[in-house]
């Protein structure tokens, strides 16, 4: 029984192996890769995608998908910066307004999925475009500079030994640990897995499936808002064109992290590893002098490979 392959958590181990292989590869390709300075840079670059991927993981665990995450994040960033800079809101209040907008978008996604019974893919394809358009119209496609220091505080760094660590990176890690705990050790966390794994069985045991889904989409929206704050803090501006590479990178991170697109299976910490893999790829390829278009090309191939691996391991398990 204990020798059964199901007892070896390949799903949890796979992402780490992939990360290790990737790091080894780039170490042989660039001597600047494996330095404390560079690795701390990777972690700082990863924080936006990492936090987006938390929300995305919650949704994918319910067997859904959210194509709108990056665009909703861009809208949140524009709202919070414009409210603070153009309308003179207290920066903290402006941040709360930004979070409210992204949470509202998540809620809208959730209601369309549960009440109107539309597939998540279609709903979020729609809200992807809606959020993008609103962002451009509202910001007049202009970057919002001159932010109050409170809005960029999470971009600041402190020294841990010789490495620079940003408060944003710590925020991301804290959020991952929190999400991991909630998913593993609370009743709502297990209900989320049940809804993704067997919605009908979940309903018959008395779990209110639709309510779980609405909460999940709204909560994911809140995470996109936090990602927006991190993005604003890191770049120092409100950028209506933010989130365009992060949108698919977040989905890539979740898939590379071993969460099944069929729902109900996966460990959220895997998404953090997945986000780091995506970050390492982009960083390593940049160090090797590969143009950004090719990075996107390679990330695309990576997603397909990861989904294929997921598909095949499921077949093997049956």
Partner 1 sequence: MNVQTAHYASPTASSPLVMQAKGIVKRYGQVTALDGTDFELRAGEILAVIGDNGAGKSSLIKALSGATVPDEGELLLDGKPVRFKSPIDARRAGIETVYQDLAVAPAMSIAENLFLGRELLKPGAIGQLLRLLDKKEMLAQAIARMQELKVGIRSMTQAVETLSGGQRQCVAVARAAAFAQHVVIMDEPTAALGVKEGNMVLELIRRVRDKGLPVILISHNMPHVFEIADRIHIQRLGKRAAVVNPKTISMSDTVAVMTGAKTVDELPADAHA
Q: C-beta of 208: minimal distance to partner 1 in Å? A: 10
- Give a three-class secondary structure readout of 92-137: HHHHHHHHHHHHHHHHHHHHHHHCCCCCHHHHHHHHHHHHHHHHHH
CB of 177 to partner 1, least distance (A): 15
Q: Which residue has the tokens 């409170």?
A: 150
Looking at beta carbons only, is 3 or 146 nearer to partner 1? 3
- Taking the C-alpha atoms of residue 224 and residue 53, their distance in angstroms, rounded to an integer, is 9
DSSP 223: H
CB of 311 to partner 1, least distance (A): 15
Binding footprint of partner 1 on the chain (CB under 8 A): 1, 4, 6-7, 185-188, 190-191, 193-194, 197-198, 200-202, 204-207, 264-265, 317
Token pair of 24 as six digits: 């080894």
CA dist 68 to 72, 80, 118, 193, 246, Å? Answer: 6, 18, 15, 22, 11
- CB nearer to partner 1: give 5 or 161: 5
Answer whether 12's CB lies under 8 Å from 270's CB.
yes
Environment class of residue 17 by beta-carbon count within 10 Å: exposed (0-12), middle (13-18) or buried (19+)?
exposed
Query: Please, what is the Cα angle at 90 between 88 and 93, to 5 degrees?
Result: 120
79 versus 202: smaller Cβ distance to partner 1 = 202
Minimum CB distance to partner 1 smaller for 38 or for 197: 197
275 close to 53: Cβ distance less than 8 angstroms: yes
By beta-carbon proximity to partner 1, the closer residue of 4 and 159 is 4
CB atoms within 10 A of CB 228: 33
Shortest distance, position 180 Cβ to partner 1, whole Å: 14
Nearest approach in angstroms of CB 191 to partner 1 is 8
CB of 284 vs partner 1, minimal distance in Å:
34
Q: Which is nearer to partner 1, 4 or 162 (CB)?
A: 4
> 128 vs 255, which CB is nearer to partner 1?
255
Tell me the closest approach of the beta carbon of residue 187 to partner 1, in angstroms. Answer: 4
Question: CA 185 to CA 110: how far, in whole Å?
Answer: 24
CA–CA dist 233, 228 (Å, integer): 8
Quick one: 7 or 140, whose CB is closer to partner 1?
7
Q: Min. distance of Cβ 193 from partner 1 in angstroms? A: 6
């Amino acid at each position: 029984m204990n020798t059964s392959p199901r007892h070896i958590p390949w799903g949890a181990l796979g992402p780490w192996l992939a990360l290790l292989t990737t790091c080894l590869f780039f170490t042989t390709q660039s001597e600047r890769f494996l330095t404390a300075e560079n690795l701390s840079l990777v972690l700082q670059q990863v924080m936006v995608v990492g936090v987006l991927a938390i929300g995305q993981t919650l949704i994918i665990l319910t067997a859904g998908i959210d194509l709108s995450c990056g665009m909703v994040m861009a809208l949140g960033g524009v709202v919070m910066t414009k409210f603070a800079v153009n309308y003179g809101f207290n920066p903290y209040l402006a941040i709360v307004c930004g979070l409210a907008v992204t949470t509202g978008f998540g809620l809208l996604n959730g209601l369309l999925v549960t009440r109107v019974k539309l597939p998540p893919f279609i709903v979020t394809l729609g809200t992807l475009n809606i959020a993008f358009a609103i962002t451009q119209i509202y910001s007049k496609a202009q970057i919002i500079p001159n932010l109050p220091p409170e809005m960029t505080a999470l971009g600041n760094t402190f020294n841990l030994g010789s490495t620079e660590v940003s408060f944003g990176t710590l925020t991301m890690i804290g959020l991952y640990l929190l999400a991991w705990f909630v998913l593993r050790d609370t009743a709502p966390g297990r209900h989320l897995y049940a809804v993704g794994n067997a919605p009908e069985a979940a309903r018959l045991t008395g779990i209110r499936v639709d309510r779980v889904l609405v909460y999940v989409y709204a909560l994911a929206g809140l995470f996109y808002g936090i990602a927006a704050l991190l993005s604003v803090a890191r770049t120092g501006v409100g950028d209506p064109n933010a989130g365009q590479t992060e949108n698919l990178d977040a989905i890539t991170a979740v898939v590379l992290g071993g969460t099944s697109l069929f729902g109900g299976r996966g460990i959220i910490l895997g998404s953090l590893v997945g986000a780091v893999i995506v970050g390492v790829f982009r960083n390593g390829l940049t160090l090797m002098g590969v143009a950004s278009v090719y990075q996107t090309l390679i990330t695309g191939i990576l997603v397909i490979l990861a989904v294929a691996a997921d598909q095949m391991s499921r077949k093997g398990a049956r």
